Amino acid sequence: QLLGGSIAGRLIMAQLRGSGVLPCARTTQRALAVPGVSPSLALVTRPHMANRVQLGAGSSILRADNLWRTAGLSSTPSRAQSLRCYAALATAVKPTAAAVKEAHGFTLQREQFIKEYDSHVLIYKHNKTGAEVISMVNSDENKTFGVVFRTPVDNSFGIPHILEHSVLCGSRKYPIKEPFVELMKGSLNTFLNAFTYPDRTCYPVASCNSQDFYNLVDVYMDAVFHPRCITDPKVFEQEGWHFEMDTPEDDLSFKGVVFNEMKGVYSSPDSVYYRAVQQSLFPDNTYRHDSGGDPTVIPHLTFDQFQDFHSKYYHPSNARFWFHGDDEPVERLRILDSYLNEFEFKKVTSQVETQKLIHTPRKVVEYYAAGDSKDGEQKAFVGLNWVLTEKPLDVETELALGFLDYLMLGTNASPLRKALNDSGLGAAVLGGGMDDELKQPIFSVGLKGVDLANQEKVETLVMDKLAELEKSGFSATAIEAAINSIEFSLRENNTGSFPRGLSLMLRSMGAWIYDRDPITPLQWEEPLASFKTKLALGKDVFGPLIRQYLLDNKHRVSVSLLPDTTLGAKIEATEAATLAAKRQSMDAAQVAAMVESTHDLKARQEAADSPEALASVPILKLSDIPKTITKVPTAITTSNGATILTHDLFTNDVLYLEAALDMRGVPAHLLSLVPLFCRSLTNMATQKESFIELTERIGCKTGGLSVYPFTSAVRGKPDSPVAYVMVRAKAMAGKTADMLELVQDVLLTSKLDDRARFKQMVDEVKSGMESGFQSRGHSYASTRLAAQRGRAGWMSEQMGGYTYLEFIRKLSKRVDGEWDAVKADLEAIRSALLARSGALVNLTGDTRTLDHAHPAVEQFLASLPQVAGAHAVWDAPLLPRKNEALTVPTQVSYVAKGANLYQDTDYKLSGSSYVVEKYLGNTWLWDKVRVVGGAYGGFCSFDPHSGDFKYLSYRDPNLLDTLDAYDGSPAFLKNLQLTPDELTKAIIGTIGDVDSYQLPDSKGYSALSRHLLGVTDEERQIRRDEILATSPQDFKAFGEVLESVASKGVVVAVTSADKAAAALVARPGFFEVIPVL
């Protein structure tokens, strides 16, 4: 799900997309969906995977709620700011002395030193059960553990997905409702979640604190092997599905967290398309089913089937365990054996059957629920898809296919991607090329936004271009750029805030669960050297691959996903008929039993765990928490009106650069054009080279270069936001001058005159935003609310919200009829931005690297005009404060309500608010919106810079009931009776967010963000002191403050037209309805 798959080629692509080098086909709809604060923190993933892999229990959504605060980000979304998802290099560690051969019931099977990650790998086997464990020993302080079970399915009931949620709802040793939530409240974890793949289920945790790490491991081990859910059907009902009826007069309804989550998934046309691709490519094995669950058949699942699945697959003999980091290797074995020694060996049949290749191309047509289009005819999704092989590929072939994938699709200048974009047949490229998340690798590519009459033209274009590339090959500069980009990513090995050990675990598991060597996917040095040698000798590496795996491969499926404006109503009608038939068949006694069951479940969901039970969950002590902040070394100098920040940190000879240009000179009417201006800088020709040549030079000279707008409110200055255009790049120290010359060229000499390319980008943005409203509706609702209260929020709405979508729709037509005027606007933005005065350069590297960069930085700054023009007047009216329902075709809702605590109350910022906000999200909102309400996520967000406080829900079956839950928050806080342990957990969990793990480049970027926002280390220490001193009275006081949100708050919901209409019947005049799709 998160990191690409098991082979080196897939690692390459995940690395490059995550690092901002490659365009992402799409971001995951379910991982780290930040609640309206900064969608730029959404975790980048591979295509197909968001549909295939389900993230568990909603933890990432909640945890990410506070990540922005650490980094100080509140910016317009950008790929460059995304958390980067690729394997990372552990700090250098020499091979350990001879490993322990036998300990705690385990026998060493193999030991090996992996130079790529400076790690000593020990593979043990448990004597009693046959369970295998990989124990990676290195000096990475961010320790990682995971347990993975093979869990193939023979139906789409969603059993592994529901089970993945349910096992974390109490266990033998931890007999509380949700130990998982208790860990979220009071752990220093750097990762806490679970994933459901089509054929396996993963339970990973990570922490830098050793005691906290072992606490997490113990809770997860007890959860998977001794969960409460297999004896308590109420857990199954809560997380999976159940009938609900509050009174005998009520209609019957379906509820359940996974049930509603998957309704949200199936509301996204992109997800529907990728599901169709997977099922059509694998008609004969487990992949033809949806392990996440099809909401039309999830209610067929019985509790007995649920129990049997756990009994069959959740056994040590079917498990693979993983450890990574600097903790004691023998202690790892002791912890595992304390659980495994209760079991005996069991033969588990869980192997994934190989899909036999079919030697006849096929065509599949499916449909998605479409609304009444606002801009003409509905469009299709069209793609060609292959299963590449029945047998495992050797490592060098895998690597070669990864390079081929990059060369064909890796950048917007890559020939296959460019041909699709230039064709005019669709709005955006569909599919991500190579994908090896499953047992057999696949290749998928096409277009979305295709006119129905052009479906066959897309297929013809793909096949013709592949045939052309087989013969013509790729230019030497394209290959050089690919080699540099890929090798840079492999050697940089930067995972952002994603645990490095988890990155390696997921990659290794991609081979291990198929009974292949788990170490081979981690070793890329020799295959890469061999591959480079072949290229240097002039061998035709890529043509034969195109011929064998694509052109001559008849296991090819053309998938067309067509719009159906009646499908949504049909789905709703079918569900309603099913429920009506069930209700009709019930006699009075059965109705009474159903009502009693509903009340019993809700009572149990709302009941508090006993203090004795809560005490079973291990917690740290406040004395374990550092009292002082961690500072980033920062030196500030000036150069001819520009500011230079440098951060002396070890970066392994990589220089990380941010060049910030003040946006305040851009006229208000041009702000909506800024994001596309940023994209244009690296997607059009310069005065001395073509777009293709520029792209290849970026690949040859850097590890990536991107441009994006950065905006944020500044506390105390609601009408004076921070606003910059940010150029972000990285390169090896020896190529610093090349990198800065590139930055200079794209800023000063980009021609901005390629009408066709600009129109492609407009169409891509439009397509992406329209799909985003169905999958990330909460972020758009949140942005809409912010635009009512402050200038920074208004700017974000202009550059990334519904207002921006409306601008893009109009711009698409304007490009056709008024291109000269559009081009003049782009040049006006450039003129307003380019000035040395007010510019800022941020550099992260070690002393030698920084010193080496200094002359090139000075030369870059000297190339900019000295003085900027006058600041523009940004005084357009904010959005009016009114309740809105933004309607799209969807089976779920995203419900937001917010107010501004600085403007609506006399609240003064205190670090205690961070503690209360996190606690509220993990208790009242979790219980009311998610557990009882059935939404996939319910959370709150407080922006200390703007003062905006928002409640948000994600994939929510409710609308008005959710608002009632929000409005109950103040009373909950004011009446709260916190025990000392609960308060301690709340404080520690907040510190865990504030001290989130960062690699050097992230530290440098966070320091930049704090500098721009005026957040000093002294203020950070004050906030930390306030967090650590939080008292029960602070919860009650914040509850009083939140009364303003209940009484003065405004509501924005992304929902369906039918749900909005029903809400207006219940509360006439409550919403203004705005059709979006």
Active site residues: 164, 239
486, burial (CB in 10 Å: exposed 0-12, middle 13-18, buried 19+) = buried
d(CA 59, CA 448): 32
Q: Which residues contact 1037 (CB under 8 A, 6 or more apart)?
A: none
Dihedral angle of Cα 826, 828, 833, 834, to the nearest 10 degrees: 100
Give, for 841, the enclosing helix (H) or strand (E).
strand 840-845
Contact 414, 407 (CB under 8 A): yes
Q: What is the DSSP letter of 22?
A: S
Residues 6+ apart with CB under 8 A from 220: 145, 147, 203, 205
- The H-or-E segment that residue 899 falls in is strand 894-900
Is residue 316 exposed (0-12), middle (13-18) or buried (19+ Cβ within 10 Å)?
A: buried
- Closest alpha carbon to 663 in 650, 651, 674: 674
DSSP class of 731: E
199, burial (CB in 10 Å: exposed 0-12, middle 13-18, buried 19+)? buried
Strand boundaries in 619-716, DSSP class E: 635-639, 642-648, 654-662, 705-714
What 3-state class would DSSP assign to 345? coil
- Tokens 């782009």 correspond to 826
SS (HEC) of 893-949: EEEEEEEEHHHHCCCCCCCHHHHHHHHHHHCHHHHHHHHHCCCCEEEEEECCCCCEE
Q: Which of 99, 102, 104 is nearest to 337 (CA)?
A: 104
Q: What is the DSSP string of 708-740?
A: EEEEEEETTEEEEEEEEEEEEEEEEGGGHHHHH
Tokens representing residue 1038 in the block: 């914040």
Strand partners, 204: 146
Distance in angstroms (rounded) separating the CA atoms of residues 654 and 849 = 7
Distance (Å) of CA 971 to CA 517, 547, 922, 925, 1043:
56, 67, 16, 13, 9
981 neighbors 826 (Cβ within 8 angstroms): no
In 776-801, which residue ranges form alpha helices assigned H by DSSP?
777-786, 791-800
Residue 603's CB is within 10 A of a number of other CB atoms, namely: 9
Are 605 and 932 in contact by the 8 Å Cβ rule? The answer is yes
C-beta of residue 787 within 8 angstroms of C-beta of residue 632: no
Q: Which among 795, 826, 544, 779 is positioned nearest to 678, based on CA atoms? A: 826
